[in-house]
Amino acid sequence: MNDGVRTSLNASSGDGSGTSPLIELARLDDGGFAEVEATIDGDAESLLLYRDGDAVRAWLNICPHAGRRLDWAPGQFLKSKDGLLVCAAHGASFELGGGECVAGPCRGEALRAVAVDVRDGAVWLA
C-alpha cells in the first residue's frame, strides 16, 4: 500500500495552459502517488499522479474496467510489491510506465493519460 497525497489545487486546461500548479513536486514522494482535482476540457476531473524521479506521469483516476475510481479512499492508492498500481475495486493491475492494464478484468486496456510538465518545482497541466 502506498499512502498518497490529496490536493484540491485548481488548475485549468482546454487551452493547454494551467493557471496554477497541480501540486508542488516536494509534496509527491519518489515512487509515490497523489490525487489532484483539475478542470480538463471544461470538466472537473480527479487525476492520479505518479512520480518517478524527476518525471511525473498523470492519468484520469478512472479504471477502464468499470469506470470507478482507482483509489480505495481519496488520495490513497494500492501498489503491489511488484510495483504495479492496483485498482481498489476489482484488482486490475497497471504498469506505471504507460498505464497499461497487465492483469485483471481490463487486461490490454490502459488508463487515460493526461499530459503534465514539471517546472519551477511543481507539476502543471501541459
What does the alpha-carbon distance between residue 6 and residue 48 come to, in Å, rounded to a whole number?
9
Instruction: Look at the chain and report how many structural domains it folds into.
Output: 1
C-alpha 20 chain-centroid distance: 17
Q: Please tell me the pTM assigned to this model.
A: 0.85
| CATH number for the domain harbouring residue 69 | 2.102.10
Residue 117's DSSP bridge partners are 124
What does the alpha-carbon distance between residue 8 and residue 38 come to, in Å, rounded to a whole number?
8
Range of the domain at 71: 5-76+112-125
Cell of 14: 482546454
Sheet with 122-125, side-by-side order of all strands: 23-24, 122-125, 116-119
For 25, phi then psi, to 5°, come to: -60, -35
Q: What is the pLDDT along the chain (126 residues), one digit of tens a residue?
A: 444 554 444 444 444 445 799 999 999 999 999 999 999 999 999 999 999 999 999 999 999 998 899 999 999 999 999 999 999 999 999 999 999 999 999 999 999 999 999 999 999 999
